Structure 1
Amino acid sequence: MSAAQTTRIGIVGWGAIGRVVGSALMEGALPGAELTCVVDNRPLGEAAPAPQLTFEQAIADCDLIVEAAGQGVVREWGERVLAAGTDLLVASTGALTDEDLSKKLLAAGPGRVYFTGGAVGGLDLLQAVRAMGPLSEVRLTTTKLPSTLEQPWMDEELLGRMRTATGPVEVMSGTARDVPVKFPKSTNVAASVALAVGDLDAVHVSVVADPAAEHTSHVIEAAGAHGSYRFEVRHLPDAANPATSQVVPYAVLRSLGAVVGRTGQIL
């Protein structure tokens, strides 16, 4: 940090998440933090409220990098950010389904890596329960509009069922190890739940397409020897990027507040 104890923040990705987070920082919404630069593979010109730098420049100039551009950025740059002594806040937690990458990031340094919970709640409680013993069952059901779930690997039969559906259609079921890989922009929540539980294979995930889904919903159900738990959240999709929820950039800002030491923070 600088002598004035201001955290210099760089944002990677000037999209639905980055724009909200960057604009809030520029407006002084987070005392003790300032937007130093933006990194994006597109020339932003006057659209960027701070200098647009290369990733290498951002690492050198910033105390903390916010990843808001997708799992590929975490894979390509995560270790390099941390090795340079810069902290990293990851929004695309789906990248951590790669256990080798996860281990490397957690072992890297001297920079520190943080993960934001994004569009889901209850992760703190799941972590607390996990400390008492393993959970015997963890299920996540994610429901979104069919158009936000279409993927290049889908065959015509599945795409046809999704596009003509008049009610909910299960698109995929599997573990938190498998599902985020297939939906890199839509199922970061699955990886976040698995990080809280501590086991990718213990979380069973169902992805549902529903043409009537005005809200994106995530339902977490967990049970163990010490109790049972159920969390349900329903969010409006972001207008610019319906694959993500409107709340995600504000979850990133909350995480930033905890990192830079905002007083009175619920942790």
Structure 2
Amino acid sequence: MNTSDRRRIGVVGYGELGQYLVKAIQESENLELCFVWNRTSSVLNGKIDETLILKDLSDFPELNPDLIVEVAHPSITHQYGTEFLKHADFMMGSPTALADKELESKLRTAATSRGLYLPSGAFWGGEDVRKMADLGTLKALCVTMKKHPSSLRLNGDLRARNEAVVGDNAVELYNGPVRQLCPLAPNNVNTMALAALAAHNLGFDGVQCKLVADPKLTDWHIVEVEVWGPGDISAGTAFHCHTIRRNPAQIGKVTGSATYSSFFSSMNRACGKGHGVHLC
């Protein structure tokens, strides 16, 4: 393939997922790595060709990316999200940032000329949930995430509660709307944020979630999604779908191993849909 036909990808963040993506992009015949940025740029020395290291993220337009992929932290989208969308399509790896109503509004406005892509990740059945939301038949949605305490990166009271987990007993750290949880666990609950975006008729305040610290989960991250549709929920006659996803994960890891290939697959689908907000 002629190099001019390749999609130019800029990667923001060089943690474990960022490293995986960079390697996969460089091995792809259809993609071209045009820059890598990391908050601590010295981490890239000796690992990334010097010509590909972007030291000042605000200089990204000079490199003409087709797609910018964020795998760093929600703060990146707060600071650069609307600017990214002026010059390229943008794929958010940290959709918890959209729990901020003002930021979500700004990004939706900015996406009237470019595509804002949201990777489905561990949210199994996301397209089906969005279709139900479009039709107005989605009545309720609850996402439960269960991880080993060492895999959780939490803020505020949740951090203290998680640190207090002892023995083998699972502890429910949070039970409530997605919006309040996102700033308390910005690196752990992107699946929940995506659920709230797919279930747009319920949104961040209507979609419910539970976060569980379970010391027995030394090999897995578990995500349960429960969907209710037409019918009487209280009488138990409503449409109901319950999925359980077990993602292999080493103890202490924030991201399960199956998420890496899933994210890369989403990145490959993050094109050609035009302006607006898209699941991929």
State the TM-score, normalizing by the size of structure 2. 0.84
Q: CA deviation at 1:152?
A: 4.1
Partner of 1:259: 270
Where do residues 26-45 of structure 1 align in structure 2 (5 Å cutoff)? 26-28=26-28, 31-42=29-40, 43=42, 44-45=44-45
Matched-pair identity in %: 25
How far 1:143 moved relative to its partner? 0.2
Show structure 1 runs of 5+ residues with no match.
Answer: 262-266
**Per-residue deviation at 1:148?**
2.2
Give the ranges of 4+ consecutive aligned residues of structure 1 lying more than 3 Å apart after TM superposition. Answer: none
* RMSD, aligned α-carbons: 2.2
CA drift of 1:155 comes to 7.3
**Change in CA separation of 1:40 and 1:238 when aligned onto 2, cut-off 3 Å:** farther
- Greater mean alpha carbon deviation, residues 37-46 or residues 52-61: 52-61
Separation in 1, partners of 2:83, 2:139: 37
Give the match for residue 225 of structure 1. 230
Distance 1:34 1:146, change over 3 A: same
SS in 2 for 1:211: coil
Aligned partners of 1:58 and 1:238: how far apart in 2? 34
- Alpha-carbon offset, residue 141 of structure 1: 0.8
Which residue does the alignment assign to 1:56?
58
- Cα pair distance change 1:255/1:59, threshold 3 Å: farther
**Residue in structure 1 matching 2:254, options 238, 243, 250:** 243
Letter in structure 1 aligned against 2:221: T
**Which residue of the partner structure matches residue 206 of structure 2?**
202
Supply the distance in 1 between the matched residues of 2:160 and 2:22 (Cα, whole angstroms). 41
**Which residue is equivalent to 2:275?**
none
SS of the equivalent of 1:106 reads helix
* Residue 115 of structure 1: how far off its partner (Å): 0.8
Q: Give yes or no for contact 2:99–2:182 (8 Å, CA) kept in 1.
A: yes
Q: Which residue does 2:124 correspond to in 1?
A: 121
Which residue number in structure 1 is paired with residue 47 of structure 2?
47
Question: In the alignment, is residue 216 of structure 1 matched against residue 221 of structure 2?
Answer: yes
Give the direction of change, closer, same or farther, for the CA distance of 1:157–1:35 in structure 2 (3 Å limit). closer
Give the conservation status (yes or no) of the 8 Å contact 1:59–1:65. no
Equivalent residues of 1:140, 1:206 under 8 A apart: yes
SS in 2 for 1:118: coil
- Structure 2 residue runs of 5 or longer lacking an equivalent are 232-238, 273-279
CA offsets, 1:14-41, max 9 Å, x none? 111111111011112xx42111110012
- SS of the equivalent of 2:52 reads coil
Distance 2:229 2:9 in 1: 40
Residue 21 (structure 2) pairs with residue 21 (structure 1)? yes
Judging changes above 3 Å, is the alpha-carbon distance between structure 1 residues 216 and 80 closer, same or farther for their aligned structure 2 residues? Answer: same
The TM-score with structure 1 as length reference comes to 0.88
CA contact (8 A) 2:178 2:192 kept: yes
Q: Is the 8 A contact 2:178 2:193 kept in 1?
A: yes
Determine whether 1:185 maps to 2:190. Answer: no
Asked if structure 2 preserves the Cα contact closer than 8 Å seen for 1:39 and 1:58, the reply is no
> Taking structure 1 as reference, are residues 13 and 155 closer, same or farther at Cα in structure 2, changes over 3 Å only?
closer
Give the one of 66, 69, 85 matched to 2:69: 66
Structure 1 residues 76-128: Cα deviation after superposition (integer angstroms, max 9, x where no partner): 11011112x21111011111111211111111153321111122211011011
